[in-house]
Amino acid sequence: MMTNMVGALNSALDIILNENKNAVVFGEDVGKDGGVFRVTDGLQAKYSSERVFDTPLAESVILGASIGMAMSGMFPIPEIQFAGFMYMGFDQLINHAARYRSRSRGRFTVPMIVRTPVSGGVRTLEHHSDSPEVYYSHVGGLVVVEPSNPYDAKGLMIRASHMQDPVIFLEPTKLYRLFKQEVPEESYEVEIGKANVVKEGQKLSIITYGTMVPVVKEVVEKKAIDAEIIDLRTINPLDEETILNSVKKTGRAMIVHEAQLSFGAGAEIAARIAEKAIFELDAPVMRVASDSLPYPFPGYENFYIPNAIKVSKAIDKMMSQ
Amino acid sequence: MDENGVVDQELFPKELTDQKLVDMLSYMLFTRALDAKMLSLQRQGRAATYAPSIGEEATQIGSALAMNQGDLFVPNFRQHGVYLARGMPLDVLFLYWKGYEEGGAIPKEVGGFPYIVPVASQLPHGAGIALAQKYLKTGKAVVAYVGDGGTSEGNFYETMNFAGVMAIPLVIIIENNQWAISVPRSSQSAAQTLAQKGIAAGIKVLQVDGNDVIAVYKAVHEAINDAVNNVPSVLECVTYRMSMHTTADDPTKYRDPAEVEIWKKRDPIDRLRKLLVAKGVWDDKKEADAAEEFKKRIDDGVEKAEKFVPNPESMFTNVYSYMPQVLQEELDEAKASGFYMKQEGEG
Ligand SMILES: Cc1ncc(C[n+]2csc(CCOP(=O)(O)OP(=O)(O)O)c2C)c(N)n1
Ligand SMILES: [Mg+2]
């Protein structure tokens, strides 16, 4: 079927609810309204309000109760309406979802998928555009996934539903309806923990994910540069092998993400490259990211999010070294 | 005051002069005119997502006018009427909804804090602001607003409990408009009233008709008098969201239009208008003159806001009290590249 990311995710949830009778989908406005982005549209009508339901407006109990359900034989798929509101339940994710397995030496596990829209570029009010992937990656114990296209979105979500881990599933708002793609109707998996080499190349490795994937693709195409593009898809745990193999081949590494520069995923990736492949580099590693400040109000966002011009300038600089 | 604008004389607050009642109606009409303008600007792409307050004017204006000079308020994202009644310059308000942080630079005399989006997260600030009034002996009260949905958040319960223990001059107003986006009040809480949530916290509680501006005024006035004597309270104003949640929302997906019709008959503006017409202090001519004046003030505000030229450097210079070297470098690089905007003549 030809579908956008919203359709692909809806189809994945449909398959999961159908396959796993203990799976439930819930959150704020996910029922009748079908979610503010319509990702859960039609699911309540199909699966009943016992399996697809609205909760009170309270993120901490949504996430904390998810943990309880997950430890008791259910498979919860909570939706947090926007990533900026997930901080209300941050305690539950960092202190508990990330730790139950280790604190009980595997006796208790927290299989669940926490879905939330991330990143900006769509002119929304404050707190609707955060890119929080590193907050969840840093603690350890949470799998952090972020698709950049409909095919990966569906496959990653179905894969997550077959795992025994708490998966933070970040859905870039800007990509929800940006483009359509041929996506299988039936169930399939996309491996979690494995980056995708979107385009092979010899001269430069660009490591990216989420909203920046289409931007990087566009620039590379326009410049007709022989760059390798890697879409991480899973941010934590990192697929270091794919990154290092590529960088060793091309001798140049650039990391592009929408989240802030300082202490971002780019820093982690650059450090690993420095530790394990520095003598194979022809130029210093470069990072392209948003500036090191909180996501601005919508009137300023175009000055903030890395765009094609910024990526293009960075590539010019890197290739001149 | 009932739906026909008939007042219970025994309960009527004597300090409410005819002039004050006319002010109330004027601000309510002003708020509705502002909403109409914002919705139109938003449709034309001249404003970001907007949360209209249509139907909730009595709760907002009644409470705002009950505040004393110097009292402070902490809104969520919907209390446009409170800002108006407290003298917020319209161009500043428009800047917020056009998507600029400059809209948060609220003049001190307004006594208000910026719009807050994460539901109920503003309430703990209200508690702290109130504690500061007590500590600094300013004699001022703090009014903090939250929606019906917001009363499900931990921040709501924590704030009430804190207020009770600390005995701070805080009034929490629950603007219960019956909906939290698509979730009706009945699915938000099994409690019979939202006000009663305050009983367990040991603070004063009251539920009022939030579409009766006189009742709201009276209740808030009394709550503020208690607050400055260090008796905090929570006040549930029962009102109705007559329009969409925000401009990004489509209520036909989840709400029976018949329900809206019922509440239209309880329109807070119609009610007060009936009273003032009966009193002989309001008529069509006065209403037309008022509309004219609001239009002018709103248009002036929009014009001023639309002349605003965003300065991206302000993103960098307002993050810390000083400029860290690493951020300065990011700024220099961005400036040298024209903030990566397309230049004239570039493809
Ligand atoms: C913590 C948090 N969760 C979710 C949201 C998204 N959201 C914005 S408004 C809203 C409903 C709020 O309902 P209510 O408190 O009744 O206020 P109303 O919008 O009706 O004025 C939701 C869920 C948010 N802004 N903050
Ligand atoms: Mg509400």
Residues with CB under 5 A from ligand 2 (ion): B 147-148, 177, 180
Structure tokens given for A98: 């990330």
With respect to residue A189, please indicate whether it lies within any of the assigned structural domains.
no
Q: Give the pLDDT band of residue B344 (cuts 50, 70, 90).
A: low
- State pLDDT tens for residues B226-248: 999 999 999 999 999 999 999 99
- Is B302 in the same domain as B328? no
Cβ neighbours, 10 Å, residue B262: 10
- Return the amino acid letter for B291: A
With respect to residue A187, please indicate whether it lies within any of the assigned structural domains.
no
With respect to residue A78, please indicate whether it lies within any of the assigned structural domains.
yes
- State pLDDT tens for residues B328-338: 999 999 999 99
- Is B95 in the same domain as B139? yes
- Is A178 in the same domain as A202? no
- For residue B260, report the distance from its CA to the centre of ligand 1, in Å: 20
In chain B, the number of structural domains is 2
pLDDT mean across residues, chain B: 97
- Is B147 in the same domain as B278? yes
pLDDT of residue B342: 83
Whether the model clears a pTM of 0.95, i.e. scores above it, the answer is yes
Picking from A182, A204, A227, the residue at the C-terminal end of a domain is A182
- Is B152 in the same domain as B279? yes
With respect to residue B135, please indicate whether it lies within any of the assigned structural domains.
yes
DSSP letters for A22-74: TEEEEETT-STT--TTSTTTTHHHHH-TTTEEE--S-HHHHHHHHHHHHTTT-
With respect to residue B4, please indicate whether it lies within any of the assigned structural domains.
no
With respect to residue B12, please indicate whether it lies within any of the assigned structural domains.
no
From residue B338, give the alpha-carbon distance in Å to each of A294, A295, B312, B343.
20, 19, 10, 8
Please report the number of interchain residue pairs, chain A to chain B, with beta-carbon separation below 8 angstroms.
Answer: 122
DSSP letters for B8-63: -TTTS-TT--HHHHHHHHHHHHHHHHHHHHHHHHHHTTSS------TT-HHHHHHH
The whole domain housing B324 covers 311-347
- Is A102 in the same domain as A75? yes
A37-64: average pLDDT: 98
Mutate to test the interface with A, among B116, B330, B332, B333 (most CBs of A within 10 A): B330
- Is A45 in the same domain as A104? yes
- State pLDDT tens for residues B121-163: 999 999 999 999 999 999 999 999 999 999 999 999 999 999 9
Output b/e per residue, B300-339; b: 16+ Cβ within 10 A.
ebbeebeeeebebeebbeeeeeeeeeebeebbeebeeeeb
- For the Cβ of A88 lying below 6 angstroms from any atom of ligand 1, the answer is yes
The answer to whether B308 and B102 have CB atoms below 8 angstroms apart is: yes
pLDDT of residue B347: 45
- Is B342 in the same domain as B292? no
A292-299: average pLDDT: 98
With respect to residue A165, please indicate whether it lies within any of the assigned structural domains.
yes
B7-36: average pLDDT: 96
In this structure, the residue with its CA closest to atom 19 of ligand 1 is B180
Nearest C-alpha neighbor of B12 from the set B210, B222, B218, B226: B218
From residue A70, give the alpha-carbon distance in Å to each of A3, A57, A67, A165, A261.
30, 20, 5, 10, 34
- State pLDDT tens for residues A151-166: 999 999 999 999 999 9
| Predicted confidence (pLDDT) at residue A311 exceeds the cutoff of 90 | yes
Nearest C-alpha neighbor of A236 from the set A269, A198, A193: A193
Picking from A142, A158, A182, the residue at the C-terminal end of a domain is A182
Q: Give the pLDDT band of residue A71 (cuts 50, 70, 90).
A: very high
Give backbone dihedrals phi and psi of B174, rounded to 5 degrees, phi first: -90, 110
Peptide bond into B124 cis (omega under 30): no
In chain A, the number of structural domains is 2
- Is B29 in the same domain as B93? yes
Give backbone dihedrals phi and psi of A138, rounded to 5 degrees, phi first: -70, -35
- Is A170 in the same domain as A212? no
- State pLDDT tens for residues A120-150: 999 999 999 999 999 999 999 999 999 999 9
**Sheet with strand B170-176: strands edge to edge:** B72-74, B142-147, B170-176, B233-238, B204-209
Percent helix, strand and coil across chain A, each to the nearest 5: 40, 20, 40
With respect to residue A188, please indicate whether it lies within any of the assigned structural domains.
no
Nearest C-alpha neighbor of B179 from the set B115, B74, B117, B251: B251
ipTM: 0.97
The whole domain housing A244 covers 196-319
Shortest Cα distance, chain A CAs vs residue B96, angstroms: 9
The whole-angstrom separation of Cα A251 and Cα A38 is 43
- State pLDDT tens for residues B95-121: 999 999 999 999 999 999 999 999 999
3-state secondary structure of B175: strand
- State pLDDT tens for residues A214-266: 999 999 999 999 999 999 999 999 999 999 999 999 999 999 999 999 999 99
- Is B192 in the same domain as B317? no
- For the Cβ of B188 lying below 6 angstroms from any atom of ligand 1, the answer is no
- Is A87 in the same domain as A10? yes
Pairing mode, strands A227-231 and A196-199: antiparallel
- Is A134 in the same domain as A280? no
- State pLDDT tens for residues B185-226: 999 999 999 999 999 999 999 999 999 999 999 999 999 999
- Is B112 in the same domain as B144? yes
